């Protein structure tokens, strides 16, 4: 899930679960990649979504760089490990 292009390709390759126009549905985890890819493809500079958000939203508003879209390697020690339902780590 940390590989942007891999996720986008996977979403593109998905087949609809319902007949078009019959059911309104979305996937709770995929909306971020869908919105992010729309931004990336329509941005004249074709910036990655995280760079677009930093340059167009965070910097103009003076928002701290303690907000990340994705985690840089330097910040991994600050990340909590999530556990699955029975205490097992959640794998990508």
**What is the end-to-end Cα distance of the chain in Å, rounded?**
6
Report the pLDDT averaged over residues 52-62.
91
Model confidence pLDDT, tens digit, residues 17-44: 888 888 888 778 888 899 999 999 999 9
Q: Cα–Cα distance between 53 and 50 in angstroms, integer? A: 5
Rounded percentage of the chain residues whose pLDDT exceeds 90: 33
The count of other CB atoms within 10 Å of the CB of residue 40 is: 19
């Amino acid at each position: 899930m940390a590989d942007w292009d891999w996720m986008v390709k996977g979403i593109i390759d998905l087949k609809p679960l319902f007949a078009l126009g019959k059911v309104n549905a979305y996937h709770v985890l995929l909306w971020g990649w869908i919105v992010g890819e729309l931004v990336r493809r329509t941005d004249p500079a074709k910036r990655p979504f995280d760079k677009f958000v930093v340059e167009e939203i965070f910097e103009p508003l003076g928002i701290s760089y303690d907000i990340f879209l994705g985690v840089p390697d330097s910040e991994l020690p600050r990340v909590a490990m999530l556990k699955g339902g029975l205490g097992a780590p959640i794998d990508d």
